[in-house]
């Protein structure tokens, strides 16, 4: 697989990951996306519905924007390319928090699996593998 192809796949995965978290933003606005209460956290139930919706909105909005900025940084658009790994780590941590606190905020189970897969990819490649993907992206 060529370097350009790998870069394109990584860019698309990061971008879709960021955009996908806007499902939680939509859920926090009261749109019912599945049969459960998507903006109610299993751990924050005692705080009330409006507080849960606000926390859901803020967490998913930050995660979605960070994910989009990660993808743009990866391609050197708007942000320095060197920032993408830091942004990716922030996005993965926020995404994991969203998944744990508001597990019903995604429309389908597949969306959760996709988010978990991208988070694991980020954790492995950025945190545990140091300078990845420097070696694979060299022309």
pLDDT 10s per residue in the chain (139 long)?
A: 777 888 888 899 999 999 988 888 888 887 776 666 677 777 877 787 788 889 889 999 999 999 999 999 988 888 888 888 889 999 999 999 988 888 877 767 778 888 888 899 888 887 777 655 555 555 5
Contact call for residues 72 and 30 (beta carbons, < 8 A): no
- The pTM score is 0.82
Residues whose CB falls within 8 Å of the CB of residue 16, separated by 6 or more in sequence, listed in order: 114
Amino acid 72: pLDDT: 93
Residue-level length of the chain: 139
Question: Per DSSP, which regions of the chain are E strands?
Answer: none
Q: Report pLDDT for 96.
A: 93
Residue labelled with tokens 């939509």: 26
């Amino acid at each position: 697989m060529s370097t350009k192809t790998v870069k394109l796949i990584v860019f698309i995965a990061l971008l879709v990951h960021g955009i996908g978290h806007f499902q939680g933003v939509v859920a926090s606005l009261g749109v019912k996306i599945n049969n459960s209460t998507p903006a109610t956290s299993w751990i924050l139930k005692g705080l009330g519905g409006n507080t849960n919706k606000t926390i859901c909105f803020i967490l998913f909005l930050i995660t979605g924007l960070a994910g989009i900025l990660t993808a743009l940084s990866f391609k050197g658009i708007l942000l320095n390319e060197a920032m993408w790994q830091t942004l990716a780590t922030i996005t993965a941590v926020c995404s994991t928090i969203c998944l744990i606190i508001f597990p019903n905020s995604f429309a389908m189970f597949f969306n959760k699996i996709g988010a978990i897969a991208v988070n694991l990819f980020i954790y492995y490649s950025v945190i545990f593998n140091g300078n990845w993907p420097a070696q694979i992206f060299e022309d």
